[in-house]
Amino acid sequence: MSGQELSEVLSISRSAVWKHMNELKKSGYEVEAVTNRGYRIINVPEALSEDAIRWGLETKWLGSTLHYHPTVTSTQNLAHEFARDGAEHGTVVIASEQTKGKGRMKRYWDSKANVGLWFSTVLRPHSLEPKNATQITLVAAVALANVMKEYGIPVSIKWPNDLFIGDKKMAGILTEMQAEQDQIDYIIIGIGLNVNHEEADFGSAVLEHATSLKVYTQDHYNLNTLFKSIAHEFEVQYERFIEHGFKPIKSDWEGYAYKMGEWLTVRAQGEWNAKLIGIHEDGALKVVDEKGQEHLLYSAEILWS
Ligand code: BTX
């Protein structure tokens, strides 16, 4: 856009436009200025910020309301507060660092500053029955896996909620729900994605089992850009799910499933061998035992290795 157009649209002087452009550059924006043509933003800054996320965000509703914080205890907790106060569907809480990142069942999520994407989204899927809420986790996993595929990263989804590169975890999804009787009030879906970690950035407790995009590819990724790709794909997959149901998501999910068709040990009423054959409509894991009998596993302990 030309400096003249900018000054007219914003009702500011040409020199004010120039000053603002310099401010943008100082904040890390890469701006190209071509004589007689104008300014063009080529790259957004590395560091997460509300402006840099909004710039070029191609979603209809996901992230329309966006809360960015440099440091929080957990974006999940903050998103619950916003949701209780009536936050709209698609509200996103994102942070550069979490000091008390949460996993499932009171486990923790290692969320070091500036190396990963730590965010929670408020969803209000009023047409979805509470018993099917777990399907949302699988929708998010498929969306994340699709984006990773676009980036050329060979990921698999480990049931129910982890993304793996090889045998190491690079992302986790936490779904929490507030419901009354047969109506979902809201769902908070939290995504943690290890992006620019070097191995030394992981805490000693997770180091052995964790990986990041950077550890895998040696490349550095712009967190703002990556977030926008994920937000867009999540919105697309969520709408597909609401419109067409779980079936298409289920088959995509199965295409990514970690150890699909392999024999695993199940620890539920004793220990037995089972072959992973897919997932059920309700998100349960479908396995077949050595006698050929099918079983659905909900929270059974699966010994993956
Ligand atoms: P989970 O319970 O499946 O995984 C937690 C387990 O994963 C931990 O016990 C630990 O062994 C391992 N772990 C912890 N941190 C990492 C890490 N950075 N990379 C790899 N492995 C790790 C998975 O729970 C769901 C995680 C959701 C995290 C998001 S971040 C945004 C939102 N806010 C929040 O507090 N949680 C969610």
- Is any atom of ligand 1 closer than 6 Å to the C-beta of 109? yes
Looking at residue 171, its amino acid is A
Annotated binding site for biotin: 98, 169
pLDDT at position 46 is 85
Burial class (CB in 10 A: 0-12, 13-18, 19+), 305: exposed
* Burial profile 154-193: b = 16 or more Cβ within 10 angstroms, e = fewer: ebbbbbbbbbbbeebbbbbbbbbbeeeeeebebbbbbbbb
> Which residue, by CA, sits nearest to atom 30 of ligand 1?
192
Nearest protein Cα to ligand 1, atom 36: 102
pLDDT at 276: 95
- With CA atoms as reference, report the closest residue to 226 among 175, 157, 170: 170
Contacts of 185 (CB under 8 A, 6+ apart): 83, 124, 178, 179
- pLDDT number for residue 205: 87
- Write down the pLDDT at residue 298: 84
> For residue 186, which amino acid is it?
Y
- Tell the residue nearest (CA) to atom 11 of ligand 1: 206
129, 240 contact by CB (below 8 A): no
Q: What is the pLDDT of residue 10?
A: 93
State how far the alpha carbon of 263 is from the alpha carbons of 138, 266, 285, 292, in Å.
22, 10, 13, 12
Tens of pLDDT along the chain (305 residues)?
998 999 999 999 999 998 999 988 888 888 998 988 889 988 888 889 998 999 889 999 999 999 999 999 999 999 999 999 999 999 999 999 999 999 998 899 999 999 999 999 999 998 899 988 889 999 999 999 999 999 999 999 999 889 999 999 999 999 999 998 889 999 999 999 999 999 999 989 898 999 999 999 999 999 999 999 999 999 999 999 999 999 999 999 999 999 999 999 999 888 999 999 999 988 889 999 999 999 999 877 788 87
CA-closest residue to ligand 1 atom 5: 103
Q: Do domains 3-43 and 50-256 have the same CATH topology?
A: no
How far is 230 from 121, CA to CA, in rounded Å? 12
ω before 160 within 30° of 0 (cis)?
A: yes
ipTM comes to 0.99
Instruction: Please state, in angstroms and rounded to a whole number, the distance separating the CA atoms of residues 94 and 215.
Output: 23
The confidence score (pLDDT) of residue 284 equals: 87
Q: Which CATH class is domain 50-256?
A: alpha beta
State which amino acid sits at residue 299: S
pLDDT of residue 44: 81
SS3 of residue 106 by DSSP: coil
* Residue in 124, 54, 131, 50 with CA at minimum distance from that of residue 83: 124
* Distance in Å, CA 201 to ligand 1 centroid: 15
What is the number of other CB atoms lying within 10 angstroms of the CB of residue 94?
Answer: 27
Question: Cα–Cα distances in Å, from 25 out to 30, 45, 46, 60, 139?
Answer: 6, 9, 12, 28, 38
pLDDT score at 160:
85
CATH code linked to domain 263-303: 2.30.30.100
Domain coordinates in residue numbering, the chain: 3-43, 50-256, 263-303
Ligand 1 pocket, residue 63 CB under 6 Å: no
Question: 3.40.50.80, 3.10.620.30, 3.30.2310.20, 1.10.10.10: which CATH number matches 3-43?
Answer: 1.10.10.10
Whether 119 lines ligand 1, by a CB cut-off of 6 Å, is yes
Nearest to 274 by CA among 142, 172, 159: 159
